[in-house]
Chains A and B, each alone.
Chain A
């Protein structure tokens, strides 16, 4: 853990980031429980342990900014402001889900809050994010696009194509590698030519190599603010590598037994949430305020769960809707 970063966030922002991390953590834990109860089917890729990256960036963005994320995208979508009940309902395949049940865990999207989608083919969203930034640049909207991806993405072609294009066109996009040390089940170091899979590639595209402690929300926020502001002012794209750690396995099916016990123990000790709680207390935030944030986060997750459970299953008619903009899916006369 870095303790040297100078937080640029004021107390309100810091408390807000703590709230976001709590909501994200409790949402993911609840999703895990609902899987075990059989109320959520399919698969899920939880971001337990990685909440600080999402919260630090979310706090640095404006409402009009756009976020692209991966199948490990529950918390990114949530922290843009998507309604929690509708996200939970989507995981449960209900009609009141954010995508009407058609997306599921790996495709949470809330365009009305600038959460432009969760993409489940590794790397695909990197050029898509570049395209959204290109439109922002051409239309002069002042938007910045943030694109989150995993360490495994750095070895796929779309990563390199997108970075090159973003630099050549000087697009307002910030690419954020959430390096949780494992690409699915394999240590990223075992399959990558360089030690820092994203940062060590930055110079190939004329970008500054940036590594941050992804478990330190203050440090993430500081870096996010700097790079997002720069992009907004026409300073071009950036590539950040945030070191973090999954508390669980790659997906629901993975118990993550391939990780050394010592490593897991060390990273759990730098869990971004309790460490940040301690820091807030040390900086003079009183315990009752923090307790209230925690209590309210739990109440929010409880309400969201009830709202989702109460939702109906999609009507059969929904099967053939919204393939086309006319609302239907007709392909012949």
Chain B
């Protein structure tokens, strides 16, 4: 057992899979010699050499296109997209090509590839480097999407993503890179499509994702002080989605809240809320509540950004009012 930061977990995850499988390659902007702009890939270049850990030009279409083509011809490539906002400059490759090619060719093509990307706000980077875009990815049939919220999940879900035969987007909340967690020694491998109950409770189910997970746990502790016993679920995987774990929890608590960092419209919580409404309507004791960032681009100023993104305090307040 060792305590790692999330950013150390990223490089350990990549190393674990590259060590295991010689067909795993890793490319991206500044990922090799420089060790990544977030220092998430330090040491990989030295360990695996300039062929398997490779710097690219600032050419997101070329990066994503290259891993698709490589996956079609025998590699299991991993690309870093430095900021998830850059999905917007290579979305054709992701949404039109990677997501659809297997289906369009009736299964002739498999694309065992991983795109990992730094996502979300909380670091004062302003509107073009702070978006939470996991909802974009989950909206396109043919993409799997996971969002690890802690170091051990980062390693386990990344390993599962690399070993999965389909394309997987690994979304890393950049505000969590400095956070720490216990990681067991040896190989860590998790499972896509599995949510985790992180705190058991009987009064309300809070489903959270990514950076909203630690905040929801903190909120649950505050709520406990007010006599509200919240169950907190880390959704972890948007596609495939572990609806079972969420529905079972709602069946027990009778109340359901989502906590989403993404802007309001069409966030992942809207889909999950609709599933709960369809499948567990008669178990509900009150309206489903979605706690999200307002439907705005994120401002840069810390005072404003902190107002926009759900915090432990704002989550606890909103959950508390829904219990009335």
> Which residues in A have some Cβ–Cβ distance to B below 8 Å?
66, 68, 99-103, 107, 109-112, 116-117, 119, 121, 124-136, 138-139, 141, 143, 145, 157-158, 161-162, 164-165, 168, 321-327, 329-333
Known: A111-B109, A322-B106, A323-B103. A132 touches B62 (CB 8 A): no
Measured CA separation A332–B193 after assembly (Å): 8
Measured CA separation A110–B239 after assembly (Å): 29
Q: Does B92 contact A (CB under 8 A)?
A: yes
A162 adjacent to B104 (CB under 8 Å)? no
| A168 nearest in chain B by CB position | B57
Q: Which of A100, A124, A322, A333 contacts B96 (CB 8 A)?
A: A124
Q: Which of A116, A132, A162, A327 contacts B107 (CB 8 A)?
A: A327
Q: Which of A110, A131, A158, A326 contacts B69 (CB 8 A)?
A: A131
Contacts of A333 in B (CB 8 A): 193, 240-245
Measured CA separation A157–B58 after assembly (Å): 12
Contacts of B142 in A (CB 8 A): 323
Q: Does B73 contact A (CB under 8 A)?
A: yes
Interface residues of B in 43-92 (CB under 8 A from A): 51, 56-57, 59, 61-75, 77, 92
| B56 nearest in chain A by CB position | A165
| A329 nearest in chain B by CB position | B141
> Which residues in B have some Cβ–Cβ distance to A below 8 Å?
25, 51, 56-57, 59, 61-75, 77, 92-93, 96-97, 101-110, 141-142, 165-166, 193, 239-245, 275
A206 to chain B, nearest CB (A): 14
Known: A127-B66, A323-B102, A325-B166. A121 touches B243 (CB 8 A): no
B106 adjacent to A100 (CB under 8 Å)? yes
A117 adjacent to B244 (CB under 8 Å)? no
A124 adjacent to B93 (CB under 8 Å)? yes
Q: Which of B68, B193, B241 contacts A128 (CB 8 A)?
A: B68
Measured CA separation A139–B23 after assembly (Å): 9
Q: Which 6 A-B pairs have the closest CB atoms?
A: A131-B69, A127-B65, A131-B66, A322-B107, A325-B165, A135-B73
Measured CA separation A119–B65 after assembly (Å): 12
Contacts of A111 in B (CB 8 A): 105, 108-109
Contacts of B245 in A (CB 8 A): 333
B108 adjacent to A110 (CB under 8 Å)? yes
| A110 nearest in chain B by CB position | B108
Contacts of B51 in A (CB 8 A): 138
Known: A135-B74, A138-B25, A325-B166. A130 touches B69 (CB 8 A): yes
A95 to chain B, nearest CB (A): 10
Which residue, B68, B242, B275, has most C-beta atoms of chain A within 10 A?
B68
Known: A164-B62, A324-B166. A99 touches B97 (CB 8 A): no
A117 adjacent to B105 (CB under 8 Å)? yes
Contacts of B239 in A (CB 8 A): 331
B243 adjacent to A139 (CB under 8 Å)? no
| A171 nearest in chain B by CB position | B66
| 18 A-B residue pairings within 8 Å (CB atoms) | A101-B106, A103-B104, A103-B105, A111-B108, A117-B109, A121-B96, A127-B68, A133-B69, A134-B69, A135-B69, A158-B92, A161-B59, A168-B57, A322-B102, A322-B103, A324-B165, A325-B165, A333-B243
B68 adjacent to A321 (CB under 8 Å)? no
B70 adjacent to A135 (CB under 8 Å)? yes
B42 to chain A, nearest CB (A): 23
Contacts of B102 in A (CB 8 A): 322-325
Which residue, B51, B102, B105, B244, has most C-beta atoms of chain A within 10 A?
B105
A119 adjacent to B97 (CB under 8 Å)? yes
A129 adjacent to B141 (CB under 8 Å)? no
B65 adjacent to A128 (CB under 8 Å)? yes
A109 adjacent to B240 (CB under 8 Å)? no
A127 adjacent to B69 (CB under 8 Å)? yes
A164 adjacent to B105 (CB under 8 Å)? no
| A160 nearest in chain B by CB position | B59
B69 adjacent to A109 (CB under 8 Å)? no
Which residue, B51, B92, B166, has most C-beta atoms of chain A within 10 A?
B92
B103 adjacent to A165 (CB under 8 Å)? no
Contacts of A324 in B (CB 8 A): 102, 165-166
Measured CA separation A124–B51 after assembly (Å): 24
Contacts of B97 in A (CB 8 A): 119, 121, 124-125, 128
Known: A138-B25, A323-B142, A331-B239. A131 touches B68 (CB 8 A): yes
Q: Which of A66, A109, A136, A161 contacts B62 (CB 8 A)?
A: A161
Measured CA separation A329–B100 after assembly (Å): 12
Contacts of A164 in B (CB 8 A): 57, 59, 62
B65 adjacent to A130 (CB under 8 Å)? yes
| B27 nearest in chain A by CB position | A134
Measured CA separation A325–B108 after assembly (Å): 10
Contacts of B240 in A (CB 8 A): 330-333
